[in-house]
């Protein structure tokens, strides 16, 4: 039963990784860039949610909606001010810029809120349920349901709506999409807005699970989510979710049966193994480029 309990714990944290990984995979799939500042959007979302909880009187779902809106606006603003001017440049320039934005957000919030961790309230308390001797908390169940529902809705949005089809066209060929009358700037901005909003949802769920937040909390969380996106096949939305569950379950089992200190090292080793066996990720497809 202990093994099954660890699987449940892994699914919970894996669901959070999946939400963040979807943001990574969408931005890469459409804008062809890796946004290493994405993890810090989670940190910003946690502080924004904390301020809403302390001052607004909104219910928890209202706080999540408000936080997602603020994070979406922040994501679009960062894209327009920092990333858009570099869109025609080298990928290395864009990558360095994302790291710079990450450091700016971290140090900005360090100046505003200080380095001391802030307690985050858990509004998902209540009785869970027991299934086959395994205890599933209310927060675990809500995290899993929210992740699955958002992933399904996002998949339907990308595949069925006009805006989603435009985003897919931009992902396949920006030049051809522009010739067909698709506004590339709008498609990329929508991508950043959706990814940042999902990061805000993940922020509330993660901070409710680990109720101490600090300006550096997004760094390692974002890195694990990026690993999840790569393992699942970066650019593939269902792959991001599968990768998130794999990383979450692996992390829970390693901490329980091997060593907490070894968890990150083994997760990185898992990434190396997957890249050696299938460089495109579990659900990714190999693409050939003419040189």
* Helix, strand, coil shares, percent, the chain, to 5: 75, 5, 20
**Where does the chain show beta strands of DSSP type E?**
118-119, 129-131, 134-136, 212-213
Looking at the structure, give the CATH architecture of the domain made up of residues 2-277: Orthogonal Bundle (1.10)
Angle among Cα 97, 285, 279 to the nearest 5 degrees reads: 65
**CB contact at 8 A, 118 and 213:** yes
pLDDT value of position 288:
57
CA 12 → CA 200, 213, 233, 254, distances in Å?
A: 16, 18, 21, 15
pLDDT in tens, 52-81: 999 988 899 999 999 999 999 999 999 999
Confidence band for 228, pLDDT divided at 50, 70 and 90: very high
pLDDT in tens, 108-154: 999 999 989 999 998 887 777 787 778 888 888 999 999 999 988 99
pLDDT value of position 133:
75
Angle between helices 184-209 and 38-55 (to 10 degrees): 60
Q: Residue ranges per domain, the chain?
A: 2-277
Residue 41 CA, chain-centre distance (Å), reads: 9
Q: What is the DSSP string of 90-122?
A: -HHHHHHHHHHHHHHHHHHHHHHH-SS-EE---
pLDDT value of position 21:
92
pLDDT value of position 250:
92
Q: Is the pLDDT of residue 286 over 80?
A: no
Angle among Cα 214, 259, 22 to the nearest 5 degrees reads: 50
Residues contacting residue 183 through CB under 8 Å, at least 6 positions apart: 166
Q: What is the DSSP string of 228-250?
A: HHHHH-TT-HHHHHHHHHHHHHH
Is the full-model pTM beyond 0.75? yes
Q: Give the residue-averaged pLDDT of 217-235.
A: 89
Using the 8-state DSSP alphabet, how is residue 82 labeled? I
Two tokens, residue 235: 């650019």
- Measured distance CA(24)–CA(37) in Å, rounded: 10
φ/ψ (deg, to 5) at 118: -105, 135
pLDDT value of position 291:
43
Over the range 215-238, which residues count as b (16 or more CB within 10 Å of their CB) and which as e?
bbbbbebbebbbbbbbbbbbbbbb
Q: Contacts by 183-187 with C-beta closer than 8 Å and gap 24+?
A: 185/84, 187/30, 187/163
Q: Give the residue-averaged pLDDT of 170-179.
A: 87
Average pLDDT in the chain: 89
- Measured distance CA(199)–CA(188) in Å, rounded: 17
Exposed/middle/buried for residue 114 (C-beta within 10 Å: 0-12, 13-18, 19+): exposed
- Measured distance CA(157)–CA(141) in Å, rounded: 24
Using the 8-state DSSP alphabet, how is residue 33 labeled? -
Q: Give the residue-averaged pLDDT of 148-162.
A: 90
pLDDT in tens, 229-266: 999 988 888 888 899 999 999 999 998 898 888 888 88
């Amino acid at each position: 039963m202990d093994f099954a309990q660890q699987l449940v714990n892994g699914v919970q944290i894996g669901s959070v990784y999946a939400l963040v990984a979807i943001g990574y995979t969408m931005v890469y799939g459409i804008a062809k860039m890796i946004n290493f500042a994405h993890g810090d959007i989670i940190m910003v979302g946690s502080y924004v949610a904390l301020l809403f909880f302390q001052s607004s009187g909104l219910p928890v779902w209202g706080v999540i909606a408000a936080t997602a809106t603020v994070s979406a606006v922040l994501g679009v603003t960062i894209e327009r001010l920092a990333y858009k001017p570099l869109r025609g440049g080298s990928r290395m320039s864009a990558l360095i810029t994302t790291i710079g934005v990450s450091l700016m957000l971290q140090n900005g919030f360090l100046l505003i809120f200080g380095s001391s961790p802030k307690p985050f309230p858990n509004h998902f308390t209540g009785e869970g349920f027991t299934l086959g001797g395994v205890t599933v908390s209310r927060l675990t169940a809500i995290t899993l349901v929210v992740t699955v529902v958002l992933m399904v809705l996002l998949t339907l949005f990308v595949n069925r709506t006009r805006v989603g089809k435009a985003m897919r066209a931009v992902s396949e060929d920006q030049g051809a999409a522009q010739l067909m009358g698709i506004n590339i700037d709008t498609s990329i901005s929508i991508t950043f807005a959706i990814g940042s909003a999902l990061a805000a949802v993940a922020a509330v769920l993660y901070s409710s699970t680990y109720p101490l937040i600090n300006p550096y909390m997004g760094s390692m969380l974002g890195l694990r989510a990026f690993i999840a996106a790569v393992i699942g096949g970066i650019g593939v939305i269902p792959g991001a979710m599968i990768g998130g569950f794999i990383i979450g379950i692996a992390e829970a089992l390693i901490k329980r049966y091997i060593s907490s200190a070894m968890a990150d090292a083994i997760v990185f080793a898992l990434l190396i193994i997957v890249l050696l066996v299938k460089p495109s990720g579990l659900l990714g497809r190999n693409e050939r480029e003419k040189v």
